[in-house]
């Protein structure tokens, strides 16, 4: 690939608090509130934005088609170029990357990526149904398909292959809910123990209620800009160093049993007996990370990434993502949390603000929410935005954000750096 693209910076971000139900504000007002925050923080005006990319996952959840255009005119961007990106749970992450491409290609000098979802229009059981239509409607969904079951099938196999335990999964939940105690944007801050998670109702073996992310109402936005524009604002821009994405089969049953796509710090001997990805790992996540690392010149992610916002739709998927991202070898994800490495004071903190588990998961907003948290972390402005410094990673230089659709049918990984 010829690297003739322009550098891309994130210059502002904002989000609404994530809530279980928010009938007082619709999606348009959620988007506006997140944008107002970003504009105020950066000293920008709506007129400074060249165009936008909107992100929301489901027309069924929203009950309103072309909801991106409706948000766009509500926030004063009618007449400017805009498009909607949809890619399941990776919707926000992919929209962020599309905004990156608008700047990198020279199409725009400033681009707004915003994401939203209002999941409270339907009850939880119906919501599960709608989300499960994001699996094969002929072969998967009619079996009683529902996403927790699909991730549970993966978790069961991960435990079998690598000896990962339910207790290790519970530790992820304790960490993310605990972190959220210091985040006023978070939907479910909780001081809980491993026992609390283990004793919560079983949803789909081995996954329990407190292993599962939230369904949320909320919005988030990120303003991206070229180098020249980034320099003209007084705030502290953050470089989006690289983006990577990949895809895999929609059906879990179609996943092949081949070889591990290696990272520069790995070798074939490490995985001589591992059939990959099967259903224990997310190949698209590994390939997306490898692409992003390649473009950023990262050869040892374990050492060269200072923190990560990973897609913890389930506690098991955070453990799987440690491995897919190369923070530890395949099979060592359980130990990674057990050793405290992804804790706030660990050497590679993950989901410092609570992740999808505790901060919230308003699907279209999620990937952009991750970008906003990473932006504040790299700016060193967590105190300013969250009202306390408890979650601020010490002097971080480089962060990673990661999201996926389905059981990893699309995945998006972006690398951001302090400048």
Q: Which residues bind other proteins (CB under 8 A)?
A: 23, 60, 63, 123, 125-126, 128-132, 137-140, 142-146, 148-149, 152-154, 156-157, 160, 201-207, 249, 251-257, 278-279
Nearest distance, CB of residue 73 and other proteins, angstroms: 24
**N-to-C CA span, the chain:** 25
Nearest distance, CB of residue 128 and other proteins, angstroms: 4
Nearer to other proteins, 248 or 309 (CB): 248
Nearer to other proteins, 257 or 297 (CB): 257
Bridge partner list, 400: 308, 415
Nearer to other proteins, 153 or 419 (CB): 153
Nearest distance, CB of residue 283 and other proteins, angstroms: 12
Buried-exposed string 286-295: b where 16+ CB fall within 10 A, e elsewhere: bbbbbbbbeb
Nearer to other proteins, 63 or 106 (CB): 63
Strand blocks (E) in 235-369: 238-247, 257-258, 276-277, 307-309
Nearest distance, CB of residue 257 and other proteins, angstroms: 7
Nearest distance, CB of residue 148 and other proteins, angstroms: 7
Nearer to other proteins, 93 or 134 (CB): 134
Nearest to 368 by CA among 118, 114, 187: 114
Nearer to other proteins, 132 or 393 (CB): 132
**217 Cβ contact partners less than 8 Å away, ≥ 6 residues apart:** 18, 19, 20, 21, 22, 30, 117, 118, 119, 120, 362
Nearest distance, CB of residue 319 and other proteins, angstroms: 16
Instruction: Return the DSSP state at 275.
Output: -
CA dist 91 and 75 (Å) reads 20
Nearer to other proteins, 23 or 339 (CB): 23
* Contact between residue 242 and residue 295 where contact means Cβ atoms under 8 Å apart: yes
Taking 3-state DSSP, the helix, strand and coil percentages for the chain, each rounded to the nearest 5, stand at 40, 20, 40
The continuous run of DSSP H or E covering 14 comes out as: strand 8-15
Nearest distance, CB of residue 235 and other proteins, angstroms: 39
Positive or negative, the CA dihedral 385, 388, 390, 392 is positive
């Amino acid at each position: 690939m010829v690297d003739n693209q322009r550098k891309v910076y994130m210059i502002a971000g904002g989000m609404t608090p994530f809530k279980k139900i928010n009938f007082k504000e619709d999606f348009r007002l959620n988007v506006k509130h997140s944008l107002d925050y970003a504009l105020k923080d950066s000293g920008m005006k709506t007129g400074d934005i060249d165009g936008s990319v909107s992100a929301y996952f489901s027309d069924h959840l929203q009950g309103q088609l072309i909801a991106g255009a409706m948000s766009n005119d509500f926030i004063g961007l009618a007449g400017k170029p805009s498009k909607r990106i949809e890619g399941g749970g990776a919707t926000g992450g992919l929209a962020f990357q599309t905004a990156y491409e608008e700047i990198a290609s020279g199409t725009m000098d400033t681009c707004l990526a915003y994401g939203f979802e209002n999941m409270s229009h339907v009850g939880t059981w119906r919501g599960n149904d709608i989300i499960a239509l994001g699996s094969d409607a002929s072969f998967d969904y009619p079996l009683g398909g529902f996403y927790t079951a699909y991730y549970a099938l993966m978790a069961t196999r991960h435990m079998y292959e690598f000896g990962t335990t339910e207790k290790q999964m519970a530790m992820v939940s304790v960490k993310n809910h605990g972190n959220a105690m210091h985040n006023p944007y978070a939907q479910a801050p909780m001081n809980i123990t491993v026992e609390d998670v283990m004793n919560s109702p079983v949803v789909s073996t081995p996954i329990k209620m407190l292993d599962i992310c939230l369904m949320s109402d909320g919005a988030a936005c990120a303003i991206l800009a070229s180098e020249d524009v980034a320099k003209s604002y007084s705030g502290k821009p953050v470089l989006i160093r690289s983006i990577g994405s990949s895809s895999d089969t929609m059906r879990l049953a179609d996943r092949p049993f081949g070889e591990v796509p290696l990272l520069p710090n790995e070798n074939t001997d490490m995985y001589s007996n591992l059939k990959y990805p099967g259903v224990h790992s997310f190949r698209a996540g590994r390939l997306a990370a490898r692409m992003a690392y390649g473009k950023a010149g990262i050869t040892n992610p374990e050492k060269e990434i200072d923190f990560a916002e990973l897609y913890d739709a389930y506690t098991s998927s955070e453990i799987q993502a440690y491995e897919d991202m190369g923070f530890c070898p395949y099979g060592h994800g359980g130990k990674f949390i057990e050793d405290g490495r992804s804790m706030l004071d660990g050497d590679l903190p993950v989901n410092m603000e609570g992740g999808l588990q505790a901060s919230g998961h308003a699907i279209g907003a999620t990937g952009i929410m991750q970008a906003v948290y990473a932006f504040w972390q790299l700016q060193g402005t967590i105190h300013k935005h969250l009202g306390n410094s408890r979650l601020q990673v010490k002097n971080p230089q480089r962060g990673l954000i990661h999201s996926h659709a389905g059981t990893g049918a699309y995945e998006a990984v972006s690398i951001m750096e302090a400048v």
